[in-house]
Amino acid sequence: MKKNLPLSPHLQIYKPQITSVLSIAHRITGFSLNLVLVLTTIWIVSISLGDIYYQNFVQLFQTLFIKFVVYLIVLAISYHALNGIRHILWDLGYLIDNNSALISGIIIIISSIIISILISIFLGIF
Amino acid sequence: MKLDYPKSWIIQKITALLFLLLLVFTLFSLSKVNLESHFEIVNWFSNFFNFFSFSILFTSIVIHSKLGLNSIIDDYIHNDQIKKKILFLKNTFLITIYSLVIGCLLHTVK
């Protein structure tokens, strides 16, 4: 029975809408954020190996490219967290109508960009 | 492969909220530390509260990630053999990372 079920979701069938695009982006950011687990592991391992290894790790984060990658990670975390809260609100029965879903989607895009810039300034990435 | 969806949903939301609160706390706490100084970082982790909260944060991230990846794998991979192999690789990846982080943290603060 299960083998006859269609693949989900039907990305190739539906016309892109803000709700579906943001939902797909939620999954893509969630999957990509596993990179943060790897980076956190390298950070913790370098701390435990001692000062010399730790300084090499710190040096890596001085390059412009890595700073940009870190900014993208902060943006992905901000977006994933805000959209996750939106998903919880949906599950609880709020913001379900078309207009609310559209407006909340736009708010999430703008807020995640603003929050990621503020966090990056706070962390000294910029 | 039978997954307990309601249970996974509840655990995923709880870990997400825990993860978010602890992440904000950790960012604020680490903002007072010079991240380029090995001594200051080790000192920060040597504080039991910081060590404990970071361990809970990392645990909640790993659990949240495990459940999120499970649902992606369940939605997009329909061949049971391939699904089993990918789930095994994913679990090995997460267990390795989790063991490394907790082991290294304990080594750092001992």
Q: Per-residue pLDDT averaged across A24-48, rounded?
A: 94
Distance CA B34, CA B87 (A): 39
Provide the mean pLDDT of chain B. 92
Tens of pLDDT, residue by residue over B44-94, are 999 999 999 999 999 999 999 999 999 999 888 889 999 999 999 999 999
Residue A76: both structure tokens together? 């992905």
How confident is the model at residue A4, as a pLDDT?
61
- On the question of pLDDT at A116 being above 90, the answer is yes
Provide the mean pLDDT of chain A. 89
Interface check for B69 against chain A (CB to CB < 8 A): the answer is yes
Residue A18: both structure tokens together? 């803000």
Residue A13: both structure tokens together? 């069938």
From B48, B61, B47, select the one nearest B18 (Cα to Cα). B61
Instruction: Specify the CATH class of B5-109 in words.
Output: mainly alpha
Domain regions of chain A by residue span: 17-123
Tens of pLDDT, residue by residue over A58-91, are 998 888 999 999 999 999 999 999 999 999 999 8
CA distance A31 to chain B (A): 7
Confidence of residue A16 (pLDDT cuts 50, 70, 90): confident
From A85, A75, A76, select the one nearest A105 (Cα to Cα). A85
**Which residues in chain A are closer than 8 Å to B20, comparing Cβ atoms?**
81
Distance CA A69, CA A72 (A): 5
Whether B75 and A8 lie within 8 Å, measured CB to CB: yes
Query: Any idea what DSSP says for residue B110?
Result: -
Q: Which CATH architecture has domain A17-123?
A: Up-down Bundle (1.20)
Interface check for A84 against chain B (CB to CB < 8 A): the answer is yes
- On the question of pLDDT at A98 being above 60, the answer is yes
Distance CA B18, CA B12 (A): 10
Domain regions of chain B by residue span: 5-109
